[in-house]
Chain A
Amino acid sequence: MDKKATRDGFGEGLLALGDTHPDVVALSGDLEDSARASAFKKKYPERFFSVGIAEQDAVGTAAGLAMEGKIPYVCSFAQFITGKTLEQLRMAVCYQNVPVKVIGSHGGLSVGADGATAEALEEFTHMRSLPRMTVIAPCDALEAKRAAIAIADWPAPVFMRLGRAPVNFITSESTPFEIGKANVMRDGADLTIVACGQMVEHSLLAADTLAGQGIQARVINLHTIKPIDAEKIIAAAKETGAILTVEEHNVLGGMGSAVAEVVVQNHPVPMRFHGIQDTFGTSGDPADLLKAFKLMPEDIVSEAQELLKLKQSFSVAK
């Protein structure tokens, strides 16, 4: 199947909701095309609200709509709709506990040429620190479509990260998708790679390479970063004894940190955190950027090998 961006999958899901969920509405500040809400806007013009380039007001307005029973999808760039609005998301959305769906396209480095200001690399950290907020990062366009539909009936605020660049399909209609339930995409007993977004595919490719070296890696698609699937992570720690986390995001406070919070309190095992090492993005072709920031399958293989050395030294020390 051809590649497709997760934002495109989201757009299909939102459009489908127009028919099945009359209370779903959408808002955007001149980024409805980028966030793929334009098809919904065209088909349901009375349920789409243009709110100008004003993210704080967009979030507040969405909260007001949600206070009256609507299910608002507020669509923008991930960086702007979480970065400029942390306070609005905190008080108007999470503190009030209204089910606003915050849709952030252009997450990670896949923004590419536009460069660092639009490349969201810290939003998992911010969003998961908000009480009541659910945080989702789909791995392909199909999962993004299913997540877009699933969050409509999820009675909580949600942040969902989408990517701009087309990515391969690694799930199918038969792959389970349930908010808060991680998917084991490949089994293995030597180590576990936990990833989200596009890094799931790269981790699966890395696992193929590792298998050629006689190393069996379990790969978990942690599409829901919060609420986290503690059960599957604890099982992975117990059964594989080492965990590598991979994310297109700052390693400080992101998905890897969320995994570590579960691991260290339940079954401590050696871990490595692979992702953006506390730095900003830059301009370039998305594929070149993923190479430059060492987020390619071969980089994940190297990380896995380093982790296995650590695992080895730990077991020797015991």
Chain B
Amino acid sequence: MSPSPQVSELKQVANELRKTILKTIAHAGSGHPGGSLSMVELIVGLYWYALKHDPKNPEWSERDILLLSKGHACPAQYTAMAYQGYFPMEELKTLRRYPTRLQGHPERGKLPGIEMSSGSLGQGLSMANGIAMADRLNKRDRRIYCIMGDGEIQEGQVWEAAMTAPHHNLSSVTAIVDANQLQQNGPVKNNQGIEPLADKWKAFGWHTIEIDGQDIEQVIKAYDECKTIKDKPQAIIARTKKGAGVSFMELNPAWHGVAPKPDELEKALAELEAAAN
């Protein structure tokens, strides 16, 4: 069965984003390509499908909230925001350069549309819960998405927050784990194992959905499902590959935090170009 027009369009967007993410990091001369590439489908599924937002009015009172807790992957978010029209594409070239709005890790208040500062891992889900509590008091009906890495959830605070959300019945919160299998120094399972992930989130009281996070169709279906759950928070365990989309970066920890050199960029872009056609 051929994919629906919407899915094939989103696939194209993802391919396009991957190219721009790599160009942006290469231009900056530093950054985190691996974790940016792994979450491309998750980000595309939000900005192009599930997330209620208005790039021309980032403070829109009815907007959903997206918190990037794995802040080092911000090139993927910045790139998506630029394509969506939050700021000119040209500005991507200022990433990590003084006095940019595109900080090396996101800074709330600097760039409209960035809802939360991050860069110190493990903190986003607590803030998602706090926002959901405020929304309840303010009688505001909207969703809060929080993207975390699989290495990130080694942080104890994540599990404190994972207990808080179900205790307070925060069904507007969706936790997304970009389970890309690697952290800075190698496989997550070698550093400190976190499996069985789905069982853990279920046991903590979350409606848990496990998907192939590189399959945009599964991603948007998971987002749809989350919107129907009214009695508990939801966790999406997105099985992904660090560096997804570029053969020599995929599942290679060396690409956690280095920018591609010109020849490497060229090779990566050629691969992505070929994949698009």
Residues of A bordering B, CB below 8 Å: 25, 46-47, 49-52, 54, 56-57, 59-70, 72, 87-88, 90-92, 95-97
Contact = CB atoms under 8 A, between A and B. Distances in A.
Given A67-B115, A88-B157, A91-B119, A60 B137 contact: no
B57 interface: no
B130 A61 contact: yes
Nearest to A50: B167
A10 B135 CA distance: 27
B161 A60 contact: yes
A88 B137 contact: no
Given A52-B163, A54-B164, A60-B126, A47 B107 contact: no
The 4 closest A-B pairs by CB, nearest first: A64-B130, A60-B126, A68-B134, A57-B160
Given A52-B164, A61-B164, A68 B119 contact: no
A206 B234 CA distance: 61
A56 B127 CA distance: 11
A77 to B, nearest CB: 17
Contacts of B107: 95
B95 to A, nearest CB: 19
Nearest to B107: A95
A26 to B, nearest CB: 12
13 contacts: A57-B157, A59-B126, A60-B127, A61-B161, A62-B130, A64-B128, A64-B133, A65-B133, A68-B134, A69-B134, A91-B123, A92-B123, A92-B127
B139 to A, nearest CB: 12
Contacts of A91: 117-120, 123
B123 A54 contact: no
B163 A61 contact: no
Contacts, number: 101
Contacts of B137: 25, 46-47, 70
Contacts of B118: 91
B157 A61 contact: no
Contacts of B116: 67, 96
Which bucket holds chain B's interface residue count?
20 to 34
B160 A67 contact: no
A60 B157 contact: yes
Given A49-B168, A64-B126, A91-B117, A56 B160 contact: yes
Contacts of B134: 64-65, 67-70
Contacts of B109: 96-97
B168 to A, nearest CB: 7
Given A52-B160, A54-B163, A68-B138, A92 B126 contact: yes
A6 to B, nearest CB: 27
A63 B116 CA distance: 10
A59 B120 CA distance: 14
A61 B119 contact: no
A65 B140 CA distance: 13
A64 B65 CA distance: 11
Interface in B83-133: 107-109, 115-120, 122-123, 125-133
A87 B156 CA distance: 13
